[in-house]
Structure 1
Amino acid sequence: MGNLFRDIIFITLGALAYALSVTFLIIPNNLGDGGLTGISVILHYAFGWSPGIVNFILATIVILIGYRVLPRRNIFLTVLAAPLISLFIFITENNIEPLGDPLVSAIFAGFFGGIGTGLIFRTGSSMGGTSVIARMFHHTLGWDLTRTNFAFDAVVVLSGLFIIGTLNTMYTIILLFIGKKASDLIIEGLDPRKAVSVISTQAPEITDEVIRQMDTSATVFKGYGGYLKKEADMSYIIINKYQLMKLKRIINSVDDKAFVVIHDVRDVFGGSFSWGKK
């Protein structure tokens, strides 16, 4: 119950942030957007239709058609998120003065819209738009979700060429890029982790030093080198990015010939490890 209440709060805040980015920054400055909101904005420019009402109608149609391919919890949260976005757009859509700088507007619209989208997606919900359509095509035709969703958004954005012109369409692409980065930041968190694989004949010693000096856990795997045809142990360590230089120094102090691979980790959970307190 607590998680559900938290999700409702996230969806409400996310819907408000996204809607305000549309009505305060996108529409007054003649910019576009992706998804159903982008269609609503284009129709508003072309015919003067209310983007809030149009977005609600389109989202309702998409959800009614696609509810069979969505998980039950996702349906419930999407039915909450989509109308809230439309409601907040409808309430705030009139008489907002433009900033006078479309590029700055695009940057901040992407930032605040991305934060709103990230809060909504973090709950496991969707915004009732092209992501639902993409899931429908994936379910019925086996199309790739990410590529299908990208294709739909690209069609919406490029259709804006005929309404808002080439320059503002380019600003819209910048908006969407920043929005993607901002939403990823919210979804993945502010403290990204690094996974470090260390292949060395002294892997156990490296692991001991990491545990002693950094107060974090490390795991040793038994391995075999395909090139040298020799056994070679591997240490696997999860740290935050700020500890990376210290870890490198520890590895070099034990074995300066160790082979090290570093890659980003999207999420870490479970276990009883203390992920680098020092």
Structure 2
Amino acid sequence: MAKRQRKFSWTNFLQRILFITLGAILMGVALEVFLVPNEVIDGGITGISIVISKVTSLPLGLFIFLLNVPFLFIGYKQIGKTFAFSTLYGIAIMSATTAYLHHVEPFTNEKILAVLFGGLILGLGVGLVLRYGGSLDGSEIVAILLSKKTRLPVGQLILIFNVFIFSIAGFVFGWDSAMYSIFTFYIASKVMDIVVEGLNESKSVTIISSEYEEISETIMKRLGRSTTFLYARGGYSKENTQMIYCVVTRLEVAKLKAIVQEIDATAFIAIEHVSDVMGGNFEKSAIH
């Protein structure tokens, strides 16, 4: 039993290394082959590195590594050992890739094409690294540390950080390049979300109805999704009841609503986004 567990751990480790390596290489390709030659930058520490590299004419990979490493050491306790080493490895691979590709001719000199393909490849690379437990930019660590002191949300701090970086890019590369950079960042973030969360987005559904047994059975029969009863008590009626909880795909939401309203038109339905689903045999058991 212990031997099997060890083998499984090594498989996960090798898979993590493989995809973090691939993601870091893809980000390096996006930067050196599409974005940087066309004076389009990324956000975060990478964006700062691109600006400094432009001003000093020194290799981009050098600044990406040197500027990110201190934040990894500062935030080591907050982000954990595994995440820190995964991030350090990914940043090292990305830095080496940018150094290797520094003198390679860009694929295109059309900024629109550079933004579209660069943003796509960049988002794919970053998404792979995030999905497998790492990161390619220390700005998230900075935001986490500042959030604890300023009480501002991490996402809001990252947004402020990137607005500042793109403003600097406007002075260094010109305002056209700054605006192209914003579109690149947007495209990359959307692709990254797809890679991290998957195309088959899931939704959690909570249903309150007096016909909970019939609704539950119908969902299982017609959608092939398992359901869970949660005991509840009405705040106004003071009556005991049971809520239905289940997770479905985005494409099944409309069908689930139709099922519930067909049985009880007055049923309460609450639908929330689910970023990830693991375990519990989420695959469909039957469809009728």
Same fold? TM cut 0.5: yes
- Structure 2 matches for 1:237-256, cutoff 5 A? 237-256=246-265
2:212 aligned residue = 203
Q: 1:7 aligns with which of 8, 13, 16?
A: 16
SS in 2 for 1:236: strand
1:27 aligned residue = 36
Contact 1:10 1:123 in 2 (8 A): yes
Q: Deviations over 1:184-240 (max 9, x none)?
A: 111112221122222222111111111122221112334344456655543222111
C-alpha spacing 1:102/1:206, structure 2 compared with 1 (3 Å) = same
Q: Mean Cα displacement is larger for which, 25-34 or 104-113?
A: 104-113
1:183 aligned residue = 192
Whether 1:53 and 2:48 are equivalent positions in the alignment is no
Whether 1:39 and 2:80 are equivalent positions in the alignment is no
Between the aligned residues of both structures, percent identity stands at: 28
Whether 1:217 and 2:242 are equivalent positions in the alignment is no
C-alpha spacing 1:203/1:95, structure 2 compared with 1 (3 Å) = same
Residue segments in structure 2 that go unaligned for 5+ positions in a row:
1-9
- Displacement, 1:258? 2.1
2:7 aligned residue = none
2:278 aligned residue = 269
Task: Name the CA distance, whole Å, in 1 between partners of 2:203 and 2:140.
Answer: 30
C-alpha spacing 1:62/1:235, structure 2 compared with 1 (3 Å) = closer
Q: Deviations over 1:84-130 (max 9, x none)?
A: 11000111122423623323321222221111111111122222521
SS in 2 for 1:234: strand
C-alpha spacing 1:206/1:72, structure 2 compared with 1 (3 Å) = same
- Displacement, 1:19? 0.8
SS in 2 for 1:27: helix
C-alpha spacing 1:273/1:49, structure 2 compared with 1 (3 Å) = closer
1:165 aligned residue = 174
State TM-score, norm by structure 1: 0.89
2:110 aligned residue = 101
Q: Mean Cα displacement is larger for which, 76-85 or 234-243?
A: 234-243
Contact 1:240 1:276 in 2 (8 A): no
Task: Name the CA distance, whole Å, in 2 between partners of 1:184 and 1:215.
Answer: 27
- Displacement, 1:273? 5.0
Task: Name the CA distance, whole Å, in 1 between partners of 2:223 and 2:278.
Answer: 19
Give the total of aligned pairs: 278
Q: Deviations over 1:241-261 (max 9, x none)?
A: 222232223223222232222
- Displacement, 1:275? 4.2
Q: 2:163 aligns with which of 154, 163, 185?
A: 154
SS in 2 for 1:223: strand
Task: Name the CA distance, whole Å, in 2 between partners of 1:111 and 1:98.
Answer: 14
SS in 1 for 2:272: strand
1:113 aligned residue = 122
Q: Mean Cα displacement is larger for which, 38-47 or 220-229?
A: 220-229
Please report the RMSD computed on the Cα atoms of aligned residues, expressed in angstroms.
Answer: 2.4
- Displacement, 1:65? 4.2
Residue segments in structure 1 that go unaligned for 5+ positions in a row:
none
State TM-score, norm by structure 2: 0.86
Letter in structure 2 aligned against 1:47:
T
Task: Name the CA distance, whole Å, in 2 between partners of 1:229 and 1:65.
Answer: 52
1:137 aligned residue = 146
